[in-house]
Structure 1
Amino acid sequence: MKRERPVIGWREWVQLPALLELPIKAKIDSGARTSSLHSFGTRRFTEGGAPWVEFLLHPIQRHAVPEIAAVAPVKDERWVRSSNGEAEKRIVIETPARLGATEWRIELTLASRDVMGFRMLLGREAIRRRFVIDPGRSFRLSERHPAVIESLDTISP
């Protein structure tokens, strides 16, 4: 019997429990192969002979606070063509993601997304065979404005 796939909107609040406690608003982008996460202050290091990365991120759009430090093992480095057509080499990490009742592992490239509207893109490799996208709706599987984010609205950008 074929399992029904959950319907998601063109933007959703995604949780990355291994990296940060806050949900992060992601644009669902079937045109992007790989998912991407806003990062800056990236520092590479080695632990137990394996490559790791430490980075900072601002999870809330148009806000410089909170500033959260995250650490993850480096899975790969890949050339990625950005939305402006330029190719750049990016660090790739793998981490658990949660959207609605679905939890799975996704690959994320780390990139500065300061000038972009969303701090995270959820690309087609992450959503393939898991979800159906309703491009005319937002927040089909997540709250429109999570309470944890609402409490941060008093923080100035």
Structure 2
Amino acid sequence: MNSVVAAVLAAALLSACLISPAFAAEGDDDRARHLDILGWVEFVEFVDPNIRLKAKLDTGATTSSLNALNQKRFKRNGKEWIRFDVEDPDEPENRVTFEAPVVRNVRIRRHNDETQRRPVVKLGMCVGRIYRERQFSLIDRTEFVYQVLVGRNFLRDHALVDSGETFLSDPRCKALEDQHADKRNKD
């Protein structure tokens, strides 16, 4: 290959490398316009049973986590289930009991190199306009400021997290609206 052809190929390759990020960024901008922007702390609301809690949105965590008190495993129709309580630390009288099938168990390695086995359940939760049913590992988080940690499994493809802001959006999902309408109709 002569030096002129090599120079032309090198220039074309360099141009492709410089132009590609511009196209990628343009596509990312279009996608970003369809994502909700949430603060690193938001109110979340669980559906059935209904409880509203403060949550930390943690893009470093894969799976979401929920403070689950009084955990009791039991069998139902041959499958493992778990019953647990969730309470709002700001309003301790606001306590609900969940029952859900155990989807899996995970082993979490703690900072002190100790491992911990946690049950994982699938729950419906609303953050801003986003309602999703996703997996939550259950743990006693009473010593933590936030009772819910929202991980990437919930946020992916639906939200951007602004690490400098908090409480940008109240929970207002269609699933919540439907649940509140059902309660009003029953009353």
The answer to whether the superposition gives a TM-score over 0.5 is yes
After TM superposition, give the deviation of residue 49 of structure 1 in Å: 1.1
Distance 1:84 1:4 in 2: 40
CA 28–82 in structure 1, closer or farther in 2 if over 3 Å, else same: farther
Residues 135 and 87 of structure 1, relative CA distance in 2, 3 Å threshold:
same
1:54 aligned onto 2:83: yes
Structure 1 residue 81: Cα displacement: 3.0
Aligned residues of 1:61 and 1:118 also touching (Cα < 8 A): no
1:58-97 to 2 correspondence within 5 Å? 58=87, 60-61=88-89, 64-82=92-110, 86-97=114-125
- The match for 1:117 among 128, 145, 148 is 145
Instruction: Summarize the Cα distance change of 1:23–1:63 in structure 2 as closer, same or farther, 3 Å threshold.
Output: closer
Q: Is the 8 A contact 1:81 1:88 kept in 2?
A: yes
Selected match of 1:16 from 46, 63, 78: 46
Match of 1:41 among 46, 70, 93: 70
| 1:131-146 alignment, distance < 5 Å | 131-142=159-170
Q: Which has the higher contact order (CA 8 A, sep 6+)?
A: 1
Query: More helix per residue: 1 or 2?
Result: 2
Q: 1:142 to 1:81 in 2, by over 3 A?
A: farther
Q: Which has the higher mean CA deviation after the structures are superposed, 74-83 or 113-122? A: 74-83
Separation in 2, partners of 1:32, 1:83:
14
Any unmatched runs of 5+ in structure 2? 1-29, 172-187
Shift of 1:84: 5.8
Consecutive unaligned residues in structure 1, runs of 5 or more: 144-157
For residue 62 of structure 1, report the CA deviation from its aligned partner.
5.2
C-alpha distance after superposition, 1:114-155 (max 9, x if no partner): 111111100122111210000111111217xxxxxxxxxxxx
The normalised TM-score by structure 2 is 0.69
* Paired positions, count: 141
RMSD of aligned alpha carbons: 1.9
Tell me the TM-score normalized by structure 1. 0.81
Bigger shift: 114-123 or 85-94?
85-94
Quick check: 1:61–1:117 contact (8 Å CA) kept in 2?
A: no
Instruction: Evaluate the alpha carbon distance shift between residue 142 and residue 82 of structure 1 in structure 2; reply closer, same or farther with a 3 A threshold.
Output: farther
Say whether the 8 Å CA contact 2:51–2:96 is kept in structure 1: no
